[in-house]
């Protein structure tokens, strides 16, 4: 029975960790939303209207408002290819953003003004399997979208806490003529950015903010999280149903095994009852043994899960765009019902038998044999 518990904990914890990794992956890839927020114009204009920019600048918590151009490169994720923004900024704004997120150049150089060049953060370059001199985006891109009508080369590798890719605004403006220009804003204190986003355009009630949803859209961290959680709600529902079914089947099977195990020891319990042990004491003994077995099985299953996920995280999961946490607390807590249900099922079934059995009859039968 202990081996069954180990396998069930390993199975459910691994599934839960992989499911949670989708959320973790998206928030890791788009982690720059913790530092700055995009405002993009509605389709009727190519730029965010001046009155909307004035509203943003008027907020005393705002540190800088800047215009940015952009294009895209495709990245590999667990849910397929997704577009990732290559940000075109003036040199001063680019230096400001990189300093803001604690990122600096570690290999190569920054893109030259007006040239089809870009610099990528280390995890982004690793995800795309490119190095300095390779193509970042171009007309022959496969999967996702075609990022650029001309080939854009990687000329620098950046090191920092978040994924980011930068180019020059002069290049973007000269090549992507029809692309809308975005506005980016930062808060004086990064911890205030979520509150600023909510004031500008709430995630639930967009018309209740300072900005007009008919003129622009705010691509905030709140919106990103809400979209990810909404997309994953069905997946977590399916995972819950599957795990509940697994727990029920494992509990049923383990209860049957417990019945067989304790039936083989019925003589032992009969002797204990004959020498004065109360029925509740016998049930308590069964409860203690079953809890110990389940606790040990759960602990071993958790250790096996951690070793498996840690061993294959960098070699198997991350190269496929899946960022997992081998110590995902939710995944391990999610497996706690397994030993509890198994213990309850086993104790109830065995306890009912102990409450009805006659120790004298059992001892006499054993002596007759």
The pLDDT tens digits for 85-129 are 999 999 999 999 999 999 999 999 999 999 999 999 998 998 888
Of 194, 218, 242, the one marking the end of a domain is 218
Per-residue model confidence (pLDDT) at position 37: 94
| In a domain? residue 186 | yes
Of 218, 240, 258, the one marking the end of a domain is 218
Per-residue model confidence (pLDDT) at position 131: 94
CB 314 within 8 A of CB 126: no
Q: Is the dihedral of CA 247, 253, 257, 263 positive or negative?
A: positive
Q: Examine the domain organization and report whether 129 and 96 are in the same domain.
A: yes
Which structural domain, as residue segments, surrounds residue 360? 2-22+228-368
| In a domain? residue 27 | no
Per-residue model confidence (pLDDT) at position 41: 92
Pairing outcome for strands 104-108 and 216-219: unpaired
Q: Examine the domain organization and report whether 198 and 273 are in the same domain.
A: no
Q: Which of 126, 26, 33 is nearest to 77 (CA)?
A: 26
Per-residue model confidence (pLDDT) at position 369: 47
Q: Examine the domain organization and report whether 91 and 40 are in the same domain.
A: yes
Cα angle for residues 333, 335, 340 (degrees, 5° grid): 105
Per-residue model confidence (pLDDT) at position 283: 78
Per-residue model confidence (pLDDT) at position 199: 92
| In a domain? residue 114 | yes
- What does the block give as tokens for 117? 């060049």
| In a domain? residue 28 | no
- What does the block give as tokens for 150? 């001309």
Q: Examine the domain organization and report whether 111 and 144 are in the same domain.
A: yes
Per-residue pLDDT reduced to its tens digit, 138-190: 888 766 666 788 999 999 999 999 999 999 999 999 999 888 899 999 999 98
CB 48 within 8 A of CB 347: no
Per-residue model confidence (pLDDT) at position 362: 62
Q: Examine the domain organization and report whether 99 and 39 are in the same domain.
A: yes
**Separation in Å, CA 241 to CA 244, 265, 326, 341, 346:** 5, 36, 23, 16, 23
Describe the chain by its helix, strand, coil percentages, rounded to 5. 55, 20, 25
The residues of the chain scoring below 70 in pLDDT are 1, 142-146, 255, 357-369
pTM of the model: 0.75
Per-residue model confidence (pLDDT) at position 317: 80
Question: How many domains, the chain?
Answer: 2
Q: Examine the domain organization and report whether 84 and 139 are in the same domain.
A: yes
How crowded is residue 110: how many other Cβ atoms within 10 Å of its Cβ? 19
| In a domain? residue 223 | no
């Amino acid at each position: 029975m202990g081996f069954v518990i180990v396998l069930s904990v390993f199975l459910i914890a691994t599934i839960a960790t992989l499911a949670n990794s989708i959320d973790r992956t998206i928030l890791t890839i788009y982690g720059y939303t913790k530092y700055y927020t995009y405002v993009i114009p509605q389709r009727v204009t190519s730029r965010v209207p001046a009155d909307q920019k004035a509203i943003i600048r008027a907020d005393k918590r705002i540190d800088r408002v800047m215009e940015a151009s952009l294009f895209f490169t495709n990245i590999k994720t667990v849910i397929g290819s997704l577009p990732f923004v290559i940000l075109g900024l003036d040199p001063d704004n680019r230096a400001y953003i990189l300093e803001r997120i604690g990122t600096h150049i570690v290999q190569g150089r920054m893109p030259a003004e007006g040239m089809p060049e870009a610099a990528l953060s280390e995890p982004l370059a690793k995800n795309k399997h490119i190095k300095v001199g390779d193509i970042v985006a171009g007309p022959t891109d496969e999967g996702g979208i075609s990022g650029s009508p001309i080939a854009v080369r990687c000329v620098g590798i950046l090191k920092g806490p978040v994924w980011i890719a930068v180019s020059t605004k002069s290049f973007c403006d000269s090549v992507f003529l029809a692309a809308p220009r975005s506005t980016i804003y930062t808060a004086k204190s990064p911890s205030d950015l979520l509150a600023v986003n909510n004031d500008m355009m709430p995630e639930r009630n967009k018309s209740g903010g300072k900005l007009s949803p008919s003129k622009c859209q705010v691509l905030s961290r709140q919106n990103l999280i809400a979209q990810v959680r909404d997309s994953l709600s069905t997946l977590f529902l399916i995972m819950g149903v599957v795990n509940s079914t697994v727990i029920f089947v494992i509990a049923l099977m383990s209860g049957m095994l417990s019945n067989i195990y304790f039936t083989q020891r019925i003589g032992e319990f009969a002797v204990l009852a004959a020498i004065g042990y109360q029925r509740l004491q016998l049930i308590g003994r069964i409860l203690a043994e079953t809890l110990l077995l389940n606790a040990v099985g759960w602990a071993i299953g958790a250790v096996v899960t951690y070793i498996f996920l840690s061993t294959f995280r960098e070699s198997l999961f991350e190269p496929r765009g899946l960022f997992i946490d081998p110590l995902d607390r939710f995944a391990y807590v999610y497996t706690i019902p397994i030993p509890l249900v198994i213990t309850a099922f086993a104790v109830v079934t065995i306890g009912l038998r102990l409450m009805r059995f006659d120790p004298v009859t059992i001892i006499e039968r054993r002596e007759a044999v």
